């Protein structure tokens, strides 16, 4: 099978780059996806997220035991279906601070300053609020205000205002500081994933082919030119060839793994696994950043939270009106605060009408609500390595959470902010006891211990194929892999530094940017 372009991975970035490459009709494009079509009903129900964890549409990764989390291994979900993680995420629409991207450009990545990228962000969205200086209409991803926000989330926002913070009705406008409700990637109360926005409208194109259940095993090379990919599906092993280029969009875990399996990476790691070297790039798999968060949960004194989402009444409301608890994206509201130096807010917060402990696995019975304290600018850096030369083996994932003591200090400061907010009068009609009680402790050492017990990923791994020109860079500013021809990477792995907010829209932007660069 021969195509002009081969794209590996139908996730947030992969759907965008593949659809844009096919859009002109001038090029034959194939998109390989290890999972299947996004036809599971729960994908399209916004509040169905907990039931997608560890399901057939989840890669179900886990980290290595984290020494600063008392030896706990952390669960790391990634979408394994059309739309990738945009089909299982919390649908929060965040771009990240303008300064996050300006830092990329200042590091030598021409064309990646926020001013360069704003037109792309606007091109992605159809914002139901209408077109403006900051927002676009007519794009593939529908961006909406929430149809039926929970009263306890609205009360959390008012509590933040009472605690002295500004109100912010648009985190993707002039600035992020303050608190408000999130806009969400939803359309008429249902999820609007990258698959729904980009992939489905392209499926009828004669020049566009999508192959489901196709897990890439290795890239093929003629000398140092990437020529295609070997993949396995239920029918066996196949090779697909690219006349022009291959685009790797397998995510922050999958992209470095496939490069390493194909001989592109650090020489010593490849030798250890008996893999022939194609290009020595020691940065492949390094530079892993992720947002670590800690939840603060309270019982809710009113029976209005997502604990009631599974009732027949709520199912009927969703089916008939696309209203009710099932339209919740879980992380309904939040905000940003700056506690350190610089021009980028460094602590983020989410509020949700549910208990959430250890990814939901340790939730108590009954009604509750949660505030997440999120480290937006982590300093701890981890890595992704091969576990073996078997493509079916999951990689070694070590985010190295809280290895830098300043990260723990930042979380403690953020938890103190949450404690003040949750103690405000606006929550008096909803706030029951904290669970567990240590979450509201005023003793710093008890809070540090609580963080080590309950901190977890916020599901935003990035950076493992970092963009740049230094020794540890993997791709250049046009996303071309150093040292080889005909190969680009387009997903969250190319971020040289993590943006300070949710990474789904930035990942889509990277896919759009890659197609733009390829098509000139």
Over range 463-470, report the average pLDDT: 97
Q: Catalytic residues, which ones?
A: 460
Residues 378/408, Cβ–Cβ less than 8 Å: no
Establish if 428 belongs to a structural domain: yes
Q: How confident is the model at residue 24 (pLDDT cuts 50, 70, 90)?
A: confident
Model confidence over 263-274: pLDDT tens digits?
Answer: 999 999 999 999
| Tokens representing residue 247 in the block | 């685009």
* Average confidence (pLDDT) over 62-90: 98
**Residues 123 and 512 sit within 8 Å (Cβ to Cβ):** yes
Quote the number of domains for the chain: 1
The rounded distance, in Å, linking the Cα atoms of 296 and 450 is 10
Residue 280 lies in a domain: no
Please report the DSSP string for 44-109 in residue order: GSGGGHHHHTTSTTB--EEPPPBGGGTTB--EE--B-BTTGGGGTS--B-----HHHHHHHHHTT-
* Cβ 489 vs Cβ 461: under 8 Å: no
Q: Is the pTM of this model over 0.95?
A: yes
Hey, what are 85's tokens? 């993680």
Q: What is the CATH number of the domain that holds 369?
A: 3.30.410.40
25-74: per-residue pLDDT in tens? Answer: 999 999 999 999 999 999 999 999 999 999 999 999 999 999 999 999 99
210 belongs to a structural domain: no
Q: pLDDT digit string (tens) for 216-240? A: 999 999 999 999 999 999 999 999 9
Predicted confidence (pLDDT) per residue in 330-384, tens digit: 999 999 999 988 889 999 999 999 999 999 999 999 999 999 999 999 999 999 9
Closest CA to 71 of 378, 445, 452: 452
% of the chain surpassing 70 pLDDT: 100
273 belongs to a structural domain = no
- Whole-number pLDDT of residue 154: 98
Range of the domain at 425: 147-181+292-377+403-454
Say if 224 falls within a structural domain: no
Query: What average pLDDT does the structure give for the chain?
Result: 98
CB contact at 8 A, 33 and 82: yes
Predicted pLDDT at 93: 98
Q: Using the predicted structure, report yes or no on whether residue 296 has a pLDDT greater than 90.
A: yes
Q: Is the pLDDT assigned to residue 215 strictly greater than 90?
A: yes
Task: Tell me the pLDDT band of 478, cut-offs 50, 70 and 90.
Answer: very high
CA-CA-CA-CA dihedral for 428, 433, 436, 438, to nearest 10: 70
Residue 366 is assigned to a structural domain of this protein: yes
User: What's the pLDDT score for residue 343?
Assistant: 87
Dist. CA 289–CA 401, nearest whole Å: 9
Burial (CB < 10 A; 0-12, 13-18, 19+), residue 42, is middle
Question: 415-433: per-residue pLDDT in tens?
Answer: 999 999 999 999 999 999 9
| Vertex 180 angle, CA 175 and 181, to 5° | 115
Does residue 94 fall inside a structural domain?
Answer: no
| Nearest CA among 505, 509, 490 for reference residue 5 | 490
pLDDT above 90: percentage of residues in the chain: 98
CA 498, 511, 77, 269 dihedral sign is negative
Bridging pattern class, strands 225-233 and 75-76? unpaired
Which residue reads 């295609």 in tokens? 228
Inter-residue contact 283 to 267 (CB < 8 Å): no
**Residue 345 lies inside a defined structural domain of this protein:** yes
Of 2, 122, 19, nearest to 490 by C-alpha is: 19
The continuous run of DSSP H or E covering 214 comes out as none
Question: 91-126 pLDDT, tens per residue?
Answer: 999 999 999 999 999 999 999 999 999 999 999 999
Q: Give the per-residue pLDDT at 261.
A: 98
pLDDT higher than 90, residue 182: yes
Identify any residues that bridge with 61 across adjacent strands, giving them in sequence order: 76
């Amino acid at each position: 099978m021969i195509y002009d372009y081969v794209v590996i991975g139908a996730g947030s970035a992969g759907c965008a780059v593949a659809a844009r490459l096919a859009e002109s009709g001038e090029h034959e494009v194939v998109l390989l996806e290890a999972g299947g079509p996004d036809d599971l009903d729960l994908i399209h129900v916004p509040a169905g997220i907990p039931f997608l964890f560890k399901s057939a549409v989840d890669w179900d990764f886990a980290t290595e035991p984290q020494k600063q989390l008392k030896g706990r291994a952390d669960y790391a979900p990634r979408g394994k279906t059309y739309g990738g993680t945009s089909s299982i995420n919390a649908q929060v629409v965040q771009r990240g601070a303008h300064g996050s991207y300006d830092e990329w450009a200042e590091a030598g990545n021409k064309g990646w300053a926020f001013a360069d990228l704003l037109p792309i962000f606007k091109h992605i969205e159809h914002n139901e609020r209408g077109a403006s200086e900051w927002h676009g209409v007519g794009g593939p991803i529908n961006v909406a205000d929430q149809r039926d926000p929970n009263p306890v989330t609205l009360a959390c926002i008012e509590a933040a205002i009472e605690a002295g913070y500004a109100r912010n009705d648009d985190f993707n406008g002039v600035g992020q500081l303050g608190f408000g409700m999130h806009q969400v990637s939803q359309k008429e109360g249902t999820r609007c994933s990258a698959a729904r926005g980009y992939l489905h409208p392209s499926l009828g194109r004669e020049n566009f082919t999508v192959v489901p259940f196709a897990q890439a095993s290795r890239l093929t090379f003629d000398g140092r030119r990437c020529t295609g990919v070997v993949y396995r599906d239920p029918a066996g092993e196949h090779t697909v060839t690219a006349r022009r280029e291959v685009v790797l969009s397998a995510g922050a875990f999958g992209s470095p793994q496939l490069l390493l399996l194909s001989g592109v990476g650090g020489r010593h790691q490849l030798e250890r696994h008996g893999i022939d070297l194609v290009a020595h790039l020691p940065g492949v798999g390094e530079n892993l950043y992720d947002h670590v968060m800690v939840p603060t949960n309270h019982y809710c004194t009113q029976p209005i939270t997502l604990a009631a989402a599974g009732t027949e009444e709520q199912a009927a409301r969703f089916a008939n009106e696309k209203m009710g608890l099932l339209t919740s994206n879980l992380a309904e509201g939040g905000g940003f605060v700056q506690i350190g130096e610089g021009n980028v807010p460094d602590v983020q917060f989410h509020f949700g009408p549910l208990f959430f402990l250890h990814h939901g696995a340790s939730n108590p019975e009954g009604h509750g609500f949660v505030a997440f304290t999120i480290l937006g600018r982590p300093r701890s850096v981890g890595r992704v390595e091969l576990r073996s030369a078997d493509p079916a083996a999951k990689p070694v994932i070590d985010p190295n959470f809280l290895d830098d003591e300043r990260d723990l200090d930042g979380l403690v400061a953020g938890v103190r902010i949450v404690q003040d907010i949750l103690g405000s009068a606006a929550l008096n009609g909803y706030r029951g006891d904290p669970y567990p009680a240590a979450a509201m402790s005023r003793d710093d050492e008890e809070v540090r211990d609580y963080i080590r017990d309950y901190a977890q990923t916020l599901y935003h791994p990035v950076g493992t194929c970092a963009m740049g020109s230094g020794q540890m860079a993997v791709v250049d500013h046009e996303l071309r892999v150093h040292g080889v021809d005909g190969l680009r990477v387009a997903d969250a792995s190319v971020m040289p530094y993590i943006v300070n907010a949710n990474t789904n829209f930035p990942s889509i932007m990277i896919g759009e940017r890659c197609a733009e660069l390829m098509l000139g």
